[in-house]
Amino acid sequence: MSLADALFLYSNLYRRFGLGSPKEANESLEWQGFIKGLEPLKTHRERLDWIQRFYLDAKPEPIPDQQIAFGCFHLDAQPAPKPLRIHFLNTDTDGVSPLAPAKRSLRKQELSDLFGYVKVHFPESTEVMGISWLYHFPSYRSLFPKAYGDSRVPFTGMTRFQGSSSWGQFLQHDGSIKTNLKADFLQRLERLNLTKPWEVFPLPTYQVRLGIEPFYDVYDIP
C-alpha cells in the first residue's frame, strides 16, 4: 500500500483539511495537490512539515450537509429504518472542557433540543446509534439513557479511520496532544497487526444502539 493510500484510508487528514466527505476524494483537486506535494518527499520530517503546512493553509472543516448541530452534538438524521446517529464535536470557546461537570446541564439541554427536533421532523425514526471512543467514559454515557451506554460493544473493522471516532481520543479540548495516549499508541504500533489495526488505539471505539423512546423519556419530550 502506498503512503498516499494509507493516509487516505487510515487517517482523518482528508476531513481535517476541510475537504468534506472522503467519498468525494476522487474529485478533489485539493487532495490531489496534497498527494502530489507529498510523494517526492523522502524523510519523516519532510512529510510532517508538508502535512502541517497544508493543514495551516486549509479551509475550516465543514459540517457535513446531512448533519444538524445542537451545540456540541450533531444529528445525522437518516431516513427510517436507518437509525439516527449522534456525533459529538467540541464547539465551546471558553477554554473549559465541554464535558466538565459544570457543563452537564448545558449538554443535557442540547440533547433535549436535539430530540425535540427529531420528534417533530423525523417522527418515523425508531432507533438511535453512536460510534465513538467517548463511550469509554461513564461521564459521557451518563448524558444519555442508561440502556444506551450499556449497549456498547467494541467497534471493529477496516472502515472507521477517516473521522474522529478513534483519532479524537488523542486531543485535549484545547487541541493539544494527550502525551500519555500518544506514548501508548506509539508503543502499540511496534506490534501492529495489519489485520486488526484498531488494536493500536489505547481507548477502544464503541458502538451503541437503542430504540428512540427512552430518549424521549429522559429528555422529557412529550
Task: Tell whether the model's pLDDT for residue 23 goes beyond 80.
Answer: no
Which domains are present in the chain?
Answer: 1-62 (no CATH), 63-222 (3.40.630)
What is residue 62's predicted lDDT score, i.e. its pLDDT? 77
What is residue 216's predicted lDDT score, i.e. its pLDDT? 98
Of the candidates 152, 146, 174, 176, the residue with the CA atom closest to the CA atom of residue 165: 152
pLDDT digits (tens, 9 = 90+) for 67-126: 899 999 999 988 888 999 999 999 999 999 999 999 999 999 999 999 999 999 999 999
**Contact between 133 and 204 (Cβ < 8 Å):** yes
pLDDT digits (tens, 9 = 90+) for 141-200: 999 999 999 999 999 876 678 888 899 999 999 989 999 999 999 999 999 998 999 999
- This prediction has a pTM of 0.87
